[in-house]
Amino acid sequence: MGKRIAAANVRLKRAYDPPAASDGTRILVDRLWPRGVSRADAAIDRWDKSIAPSTMLRNWFRHDPARWQEFQHRYVKEIYKHREQLDELRARAKSGRITLVFGAHDKIHNHAIVLRDILLGRSGMHSTSA
């Protein structure tokens, strides 16, 4: 499959945190634009809605830590239906730093963590105490 992606090349950042030059390419990975964040302040380079959890999965999960393990399994199944977009993200991360920008308030139980781990080739699921 070629060159592995360096962990430092895939960062996570909330949309509510200020952008930094060190972010590299900022990719919003949510289906909905984060509330209260202007497009100018977000400094998003790319918005990839297709890589976000489906509306049905997002509504089921609702960032409930008790559903975290099952959410990860379901999201992994969904994300592999979008291989072309996943491959594009991998290519970007191999050539330089990307920051996966997300709107969730919970920094521990959100889809950006799962997406990062898929990009980095990490297999295990995160526990609720991660």
**45-99 pLDDT, tens per residue?**
999 899 999 999 999 999 999 999 999 999 999 999 999 999 999 999 999 999 9
Q: At 15, is the pLDDT very low, low, confident or very high (cuts 50, 70, 90)?
A: very high
Q: At 129, is the pLDDT very low, low, confident or very high (cuts 50, 70, 90)?
A: very low
Q: At 2, is the pLDDT very low, low, confident or very high (cuts 50, 70, 90)?
A: low
pLDDT at residue 130 tops 50: no
Cα–Cα distance measured from residue 91 to residue 7, given in angstroms and rounded to the nearest whole number = 14
pTM of the model: 0.90
Cα–Cα distance measured from residue 62 to residue 55, given in angstroms and rounded to the nearest whole number = 10
- The structural domains of the chain, with segments of one domain joined by +, span 7-119
